[in-house]
Structure 1
Amino acid sequence: MNHIVTVEQAVTAFAPWLEPTDAELDAVELEMPAILADVDLLDAQITAMDRPANELDTRRIRRARHRALTARRELSNQGATVSVPGGAA
């Protein structure tokens, strides 16, 4: 006779190293403006793909690209002042 065993613990139990650390979550939070600006740029580019190019789409992509570059510049400037634990001394 085969016994039926539950696998509930194996399914619901997660090892602590599978979850992001607080430092990783802080890094994502720091990069979030750049990520959202990139998403806006992709949205503008995808929207422009579905139809012939017009001036409104061109301006929308140009503004989204400018916002993405600005967010990346600010992120790189913050990186010079933010100290991340575990770095080289």
Structure 2
Amino acid sequence: MGHIVTVQDVVTAFAPDLEPTGAELDAIEHEMPVIRAEVELLDVQIISLDRTPSELDRRRLRRAHRRVLVARRNLANRTNEVAGVSA
């Protein structure tokens, strides 16, 4: 019985000790407020999954969603400032 193998080249190089570059780390740090806000929103959504949302749950969800929107707006504004784009 013959083995079936692919004839394609490897898409990504395998390097187990490959670390992110400084630019990648800077980009992550730049986006960290958005990441934190999205994680907080996800936490609120998960908490409200197993029960009927109360008024307090709905307020928490609205606040978390608002924080995500504000963080995304701030990120977009900072990105535009760095790029030299005026609004």
TM-score, with length taken from structure 1: 0.72
Query: Is 1:29 matched with 2:29?
Result: yes
Q: Name the CA distance, whole Å, in 2 between partners of 1:81 and 1:29.
A: 17
Q: Which runs of 5 or more structure 2 residues have no equivalent in the other structure?
A: 1-15
CA RMSD of aligned residues (A): 1.2
**Residue 80 of structure 2 corresponds to which residue in structure 1?**
80
Query: Who is 1:59 aligned against?
Result: 59
In 1, the alpha carbon distance for the partners of 2:32 and 2:42 equals 15
Equivalent in the alignment of 1:70: 70
In the other structure, the counterpart of 2:9 is none
Aligned to 2:53, what secondary structure does the other structure show? coil
Structure 1 moving runs of 4+ over 2 Å: none
Q: Supply the distance in 2 between the matched residues of 1:50 and 1:56 (Cα, whole angstroms).
A: 15
* In structure 2, distance between residues paired with 1:72 and 1:29: 14
Q: Could you tell me which amino acid in structure 2 is paired with residue 49 of structure 1?
A: L
Query: How many angstroms does 1:46 deviate by?
Result: 0.5
1:56 partner letter: L
- Deviation by residue 1:16-74 (Cα, 9 ceiling, x = unmatched): xx211111100000000000000000000110111111100000000000000000000
